[in-house]
Amino acid sequence: MGKGLGILAVLIILFVISSYTLWNTIQNNYSAPEILRLGNYTPTVDVKGISYDNESGLQFYDNMRFDHKDLTFGISPECDNEQTNNMISAMEFLQKQVRNITFRQEIFKDKENNTDIRIYCGEAYKDKENLYVAGEGGPDYIIRTTTFNIIKGGKIVLYRESCSYNVELHELLHVFGLKHSENKKSILFPESFCDQHITMDIVEELRRLYSIEPLPDLYFENITATKHGIYVDLFLTVKNQGIRGTEQNITLGLYSEDKKLTEFVLGPIDYGSGRVLRTENTQLRTRSTTEIRLVIDSENVTKEYSKENNEITLRV
């Protein structure tokens, strides 16, 4: 009898220990992080740390950025003073580190989408399946070009308290296209803790992207030329893979033997879009013409990233 009670006591002790260990594991991995007040912790730049390995990439898509550097934001009236101040502090911090972007607050007008970034607050936006989520953020949508992925607006939703402004900074970086990091000390780790900082690879990538001057970059796509007699029929597309639309009408020059035969006006071309040209019976110089040259922006009035993809020679 005594032996049985002894075994039972040991089992009870082991159960209590295993239950306590399991509870600690759940708390450490899934519970809300400790919240420290502003005086105890403020995100800084970890100059030695990295958030991403070379293979994974930093962003959801390569070269994600807004098409301008002076960004506007609006904060919903439902955000309290602490959330508002933390959001502004996060933007001031990022502006100071990246150097070539600025943030400017404007009146929040939700239905008008009048700002680049909109900030909301409240449990009404919360994903009920994730009880410990502190916020959400990301681009509204992007325009994909061959070279860049242009961010068109961003949205941030804040649910809970933040360690200083680490949650606000985390979600703001998502708006800029930065994805989660596997480094637990990185501000972009999926869970929020009160000892996380922004790493230099994040800062340097944003500096690189926003040091690029916003320009168009025009190129040919899907081009055919069919000759019949002394005439040629053309079917082609001119696209813009840059960050900015063209301010002037884009022209397309048709040349033969280094002489311009005619010029087509395509109109302005926004980034991520193009103009289709279909012509019939454009007269060549002679029936024996075997080669033509097409030149985008033949008068060279538009500054672009490259002019090397503006010209093509075709056998006809």
Q: Where are the domains of the chain?
A: 35-210, 218-315
Task: Order across the sheet with 259-267: list the strands.
Answer: 259-267, 250-256, 291-296, 311-315
Q: What is the pLDDT, as a whole number, of residue 229?
A: 93
Nearby residues of 12 by Cβ (< 8 Å), 6 or more positions away:
none
Domain 35-210 fold: Collagenase (Catalytic Domain) (3.40.390)
Instruction: Name the amino acid, one letter, at 102.
Output: T
Residue 269, token pair as written in the block: 């071309």
Mean pLDDT by 10-residue block, N- to C-terminus, for the chain (316 residues)?
50 45 35 41 75 75 95 95 95 95 92 87 60 68 92 90 88 95 90 88 95 96 94 96 94 92 96 95 92 94 94 94
Q: What is the pLDDT, as a whole number, of residue 164?
A: 86
Q: What are 200-244's pLDDT values in tens digits?
A: 999 999 999 999 999 999 999 999 999 999 999 999 999 999 999
Query: Using CB atoms within 10 A of its CB, is residue 228 exposed (0-12), middle (13-18) or buried (19+)?
Result: exposed
Distances (CA, A) of 169 to 186, 224, 225, 241, 256: 11, 50, 53, 30, 57
Q: What is the pLDDT, as a whole number, of residue 31?
A: 32
Report which of 166, 193, 182 is spatially closest to residue 94, judged by C-alpha positions. Answer: 166
Residue 135, token pair as written in the block: 């916020």
Q: What is the pLDDT, as a whole number, of residue 14?
A: 46
Report which of 168, 178, 273, 282 is spatially closest to residue 230, judged by C-alpha positions. Answer: 282
Q: What is the pLDDT, as a whole number, of residue 40?
A: 60
Expressed in percent and rounded to 5, the helix, strand and coil fractions of the chain are: 25, 35, 45
Q: What are 167-193's pLDDT values in tens digits?
A: 999 999 999 999 999 899 999 998 888
Residue 222, token pair as written in the block: 């899907």
Q: What are phi and psi of 137, to 5 degrees?
A: -165, 155
Tokens 């972009």: give the residue: 188
Per DSSP, the three-state class of 105 is: strand
Q: Specify whether the CB–CB gap between 246 and 221 falls below 8 A.
A: no
Q: Specify whether the CB–CB gap between 238 and 277 falls below 8 A.
A: yes
CATH tag for 218-315 (out of 2.40.30.10, 3.30.70.20, 2.60.40.10, 3.40.720.10): 2.60.40.10
